[in-house]
Amino acid sequence: MDIKLKKSKPFAAWLCFFLAVSIMIGLLISVFSVFWHSGGNWEALKAPFIDYKNSTVFKQRTADYYGQLFSLVADPSSQDTDSMEITKSVLDNEGANLKYYGVNKNNNFLVQNITPEPSSLSDSGKTPALPSGYSYCWYFDGEKLRVIDHGKEIDMQRLDSGYQRIFHGYIYDLTPKYLSNVRVVLAVKDNLVKNPYAHSKYYGEQQFLAIMGWIYIGLLVLGLLLLVLAIINRPSKREFDRKLASWSNRMWLEVKILLALLVLVFFGVFGFNYYPGWGAPVAQVLGVTFISCILIACFWWFYLMLIDLIVNGKNFFTPNSINSLLTWYRKYEKRYTWQKSMLKRAYMLVGVEAVLALISVIFVLTGSSGGTLLLALLIAGAGIYLIYRYLKRYDETLSDLGKLMDHIGLIKNGDMETHLEVAEDADIYPAVQNLNSIQEGMGTAVTEKMKSERMKIVLITNVSHDLKTPLTSIISYVDLLNKEEGLPEHVNDYIRILTQKSEHLKNLIQDLFDLSKASSNNLALDMEKIDLARLVKQTLADMEEPITASGLTFRINIPDEPVYIISDGKKLYRVLENLIMNTLKYSLSGSRVFVDLTVDSKEVTATIKNTANYEMTFDEDEILQRFVRGDKSRSSEGSGLGLSIAQTFTEVCGGKFFIKIDGDLFKVELRFETESEN
């Protein structure tokens, strides 16, 4: 969750920034457009925040209604039934919000929705008496148009009256003499109400402006809030900027420029040429929103280009079509010859086939004559031939690859002699050459290895012979000395030591020889099916004398039925003999030695456990190191190779050898796969 938040933080910060700026631009554009279209009148901007009756919008609308009414009353040429109906229906849409009365005494034309007629209309210069609840009115008294609000006349000539640009001069197109008999009153209800029968524009506008005011304020607050958030999280925002830059830097420069131009064109066409006019307010808002969106999109596009330029610097210009083409070509150049030639063949096939297709299309389009059919056939033939050539070459390469695979398999299986032959112009010729030399190298290495193995055997045999020959002399002459009589006692002591040590040396050499033969896999094995249970019993019986002499108690747990394994009995006897000799040598006197044989479905495990008569300060691996002896003092006889030989012999005889030390408990395990009885 934390990580997710952390990851999304730059985006969130950037989104704040984006929304804040977009909202600000949108607000700015709408303010500007309202200002612009209201002819530079700041009053229009105030509309949502002041009483609707005082707003320019209201005055404008009233002027519009009044103008229509006045034209109808004053101009006899428009006093046919249709015009009267249209004007009346426009005014009646307002329902109770509008009361009007118009009279032209020149031709006795009367239009009204007030009854009875306001009594005071005949005298010029007097304020007409209005029905209660209607204290705002426009009134033409035959000389002058007045606007009366709550009984007071408004001076419409003043700049701050709000009527400066609203009053239309067409009222005075008619001669004053004629107009002196015209009276027109239009009164607006104090509390505007909804007309249940038609759409009241007054009421609608009042509601709309009220909502718009709140929306504008809300957006402004939201925008500022987001802007503050974005400013607080500047570093995160910049991080996302960089991300955007790296994304935009993948675009070709041409695309960037083209899009920038498109954006500019859009901006020019819609931003400057769009004039919403004075239709319904909703349509105006939609228009403004549309322009805003375009302008905002323009802004962000250039913003993106800007951060791209700032972050990537010179690299802003690098990703372009020419560079891409160059890169692609360089990559192509770097390929191996065979890759190039395969690619080239594929490109050429596609290219030539395309040209042939084009030619045939042209021929078909330019109409047919006698020769065209022949030509078409020729072209088709050439195309098919090309495909055939290509496929043939492809097939050759595939079969060469197959040969290569086979050859690799051959080398894996140890064939170092056969070399792979392919045509010199084959695609994979260099690879084949390399493989052949690898094979040669490996062949040499294998031969060397075998030679050195043979050398090792010869060496072991020779060293063994060379050690044994002088030792034979030593033992023989020591033996002769032993037979001498009348020697001083101390000389006899020396001779005894010589006898002991030469015997020790003999055992050591024999063990060493056996071990080196076994571990270099030069031991002659005689593997056959033997009964491991019997072998353990035989060994224990064979060693009965030393076992009895040791005073140790042997607890033997071996199944009565045979346990068959495939192994070399004589070698395994040596293993067991070594292990038991070990326990006899290193067991705590009077303790028990456990010899177990356990069989499960696949494996038989022979275990020998004894309690050491010294502290075992080594671990399982150390004790198996050659020449390490249990007590480390090396005072006793033996080569110190016993366990090593046991391990090596067990392993060459197909078993596994484990040692476990747990306190004073020393445990050896031999594991073998069991063989069925047959």
Partner 1 sequence: MEKQRVLVVDDDREIVNAIAINLQNEGYEVLKAYDGLQALDIISTQNIQLIILDVMMPKLDGLSATLKIREEKNIPIIILSAKSEDTDKILGLSMGADDYVTKPFNTMELMARVKSQLRRYLRLGDVNVTNRANLLQSGGLCFDLESHTLTVDGEPVRLTATETKIMELLMRFPGRIFPAEEIYERVWEEPAYKVENTVMVHIRRIREKIEINPKEPKYLKVVWGIGYKIEKI
User: Residue numbers of the site for partner 1 (CB under 8 A)?
Assistant: 461, 464-465, 468-469, 471-477, 479-480, 483, 502, 506, 510, 513, 524, 526, 530-532, 534-535, 537-542, 544, 560, 567, 569-570, 572-573
Least CB distance to partner 1 at residue 474 (A): 8
- Minimal distance, residue 631 CB to partner 1, in Å: 26
Residue number with CB closer to partner 1 (462 or 625)? 462
Structure tokens at 330: 């360089």
CB 666 within 8 A of CB 612: yes
Question: Which has the closest alpha carbon to 289: 222, 219, 229?
Answer: 219
Cβ nearer to partner 1, comparing 449 with 555: 555
Which residue lies nearer to partner 1 by CB, 464 or 674? 464
Distance CA 464, CA 470 (A): 11
Minimum Å gap between C-beta 566 and partner 1 is 11
d(CA 626, CA 643): 8
Q: Given phi > 0 = left and psi -120 to 50 = alpha, else beta, which region is 206?
A: alpha
Q: Which C-beta is closer to partner 1: that of 242 or that of 529?
A: 529
User: 113-126: buried (b, 16+ CB within 10 Å) or exposed (e) per residue?
Assistant: eeeeebeebeeeee
Smallest gap, in angstroms, from Cβ of residue 480 to partner 1? 6
Which lies closer to partner 1 via its Cβ, residue 2 or residue 560? Answer: 560
Nearer to partner 1 by Cβ, of 230 and 606: the residue is: 606
Nearer to partner 1, 341 or 510 (CB): 510
* Residue nearer to partner 1 on the CB measure, 165 or 534: 534
The residue (of 143 and 637) whose beta carbon lies closer to partner 1 is 637
The 3-state secondary structure of 590-649, one letter per residue: CCEEEEEEEECCCEEEEEEEEEECCCCCCCHHHHHCCCCCCCCCCCCCCCCCHHHHHHHH
Which residue do the tokens 């007054």 mark? 202
Query: Do the Cβ atoms of 96 and 189 come closer than 8 Å?
Result: yes
Please answer whether residues 527 and 675 qualify as being in contact, where contact means their C-beta atoms are separated by less than 8 angstroms: no
Distance CA 656, CA 604 (A): 11
Strands (E), 168-314: 182-188
CB of 637 to partner 1, least distance (A): 16
- Give least dist CB 567 to partner 1, A: 8
> Rounded to the nearest whole angstrom, what is the least distance from the CB of residue 465 to partner 1 in the complex?
4
User: What is residue 489's three-state secondary structure?
Assistant: helix
The amino acid at residue 181 is N
Closest contact distance (angstroms) between CB of 425 and partner 1 is: 58
Cis peptide preceding 116, ω within 30 of 0: yes
Give the span between the Cα atoms of 50 and 523, in whole angstroms: 113
The minimum distance between CB 557 and partner 1, in angstroms, equals 13
**Spatial separation of the C-alpha atoms in residues 304 and 69, rounded to whole Å:** 55
- Residue 218 has which token pair? 């809300």
